[in-house]
A and B are shown apart, each in its own frame.
Chain A
Amino acid sequence: MTGVLATVDFSNPYFAVLVLLAVALAMSVGFVLLSQALGPKRYDRIKFGVYECGVDPFTPAAVRVSVKFYLVAILFLLFDLETTFLYPWAVLFRSLGLFGFIEMAVFVLILLVGLLYAWKKGALEWQ
Chain B
Amino acid sequence: MFLGNLASLPHFLPEIAVTVTILLLVALHVATRNRESSAASILSLVGVGAAILLSGASPAGTGRALFEGMVAQDGFAVFFKVLTSLCALVVIFMSMDSAELAGRSRAEYHIFLLSTLLGMFLLASSTDIVMLYLSLEMVSIPSYLLAGYLKGKERSTEAAIKYVVYGATASGVMIYGFSILFGLTGSTQIAEIGRAAASGKASLALLLAAVMVAVGFGYKIAAVPFHMWCPDVYEGAPAPATAFFSVAPKAAGFAVLIRFFFTVFAVPDSTPGLWRLASAFDWPLMFSILSAVTMTVGNFVAIKQNNVKRLLAYSSIAHAGYMMMGFVMLSSAGIQAVLFYLVVYLFMNLGAFYVVVLVSNATRGEEISDFSGLGSRAPLAAVCFAVFLFSLTGIPPFSGFIGKVYLFAEVIHRGVYWLAVVAAVNSVVSLFFYARVVRAMFLEEPKDAAGLPVPALTGAMLVVLAVPTVLLGVYWEPVARIASDSVRMIAF
Which residues of A are interface residues toward B (Cβ below 8 A)?
99, 103, 110, 113-114, 116-117, 120
Contacts and interface: CB of A to CB of B under 8 A. Distances in A.
B30 interface: yes
14 contacts: A99-B5, A99-B6, A103-B5, A110-B19, A110-B23, A113-B23, A113-B26, A113-B27, A114-B26, A116-B26, A116-B30, A117-B26, A117-B30, A120-B30
Interface centre among A103, A110, A117, A120 (most CB of B within 10 A): A117
B115 to A, nearest CB: 12
A99 B5 CA distance: 10
Nearest to B31: A120
Interface in B1-27: 5-6, 19, 23, 26-27
A120 B27 CA distance: 10
A25 B27 CA distance: 60
The binding surface of chain A is classed by DSSP as helix
A113 B29 CA distance: 11
A86 B26 CA distance: 24
Contacts of A103: 5
A72 B232 CA distance: 31
B33 to A, nearest CB: 11
Given A114-B26, A116-B26, A116-B27, 10 more contacts: A99-B5, A99-B6, A103-B5, A110-B23, A113-B26, A116-B30, A117-B29, A117-B30, A120-B29, A120-B30
Interface residues of B, number: 8
Contacts of A117: 26, 29-30
B110 to A, nearest CB: 14
A105 to B, nearest CB: 14
Contacts of B26: 113-114, 116-117
A117 B27 CA distance: 8
The 3 closest A-B pairs by CB, nearest first: A120-B30, A113-B26, A117-B26
A54 to B, nearest CB: 39
A114 B5 CA distance: 24
Contacts of B19: 110
A113 B19 CA distance: 12
Interface string B30-69: 1000000000000000000000000000000000000000
Interface of B: 5-6, 19, 23, 26-27, 29-30
Nearest to B27: A113
A113 B27 CA distance: 7
Nearest to B4: A99
A93 to B, nearest CB: 17
A15 to B, nearest CB: 23
Nearest to A119: B30
Nearest to B111: A117
A103 B67 CA distance: 13
Nearest to A117: B26
Contacts of B29: 117, 120
A108 to B, nearest CB: 13
Contacts of B6: 99
Contacts of B23: 110, 113
A118 B6 CA distance: 31
B70 to A, nearest CB: 14
A114 to B, nearest CB: 7
A120 B29 CA distance: 9
Contacts of A114: 26
A117 B32 CA distance: 12
A61 B23 CA distance: 44
A2 B198 CA distance: 40
A113 B23 CA distance: 7
A103 B6 CA distance: 10
Contacts of A120: 29-30
A113 B5 CA distance: 23
A120 B105 CA distance: 14
Contacts of A113: 23, 26-27
A103 B9 CA distance: 12
B423 to A, nearest CB: 46
A117 B26 CA distance: 7
Contacts of B30: 116-117, 120
A120 B30 CA distance: 6
Nearest to A109: B23
A107 to B, nearest CB: 12
A117 B24 CA distance: 11
Nearest to A103: B5
A103 B23 CA distance: 16
Contacts of B27: 113, 116
Nearest to A120: B30
Contacts of A99: 5-6
Nearest to B6: A99
A114 B26 CA distance: 8
B47 to A, nearest CB: 15
Contacts of A116: 26-27, 30
Interface centre among A99, A110, A113 (most CB of B within 10 A): A113
A110 B5 CA distance: 18
A20 to B, nearest CB: 25
B419 to A, nearest CB: 44
A113 B30 CA distance: 9
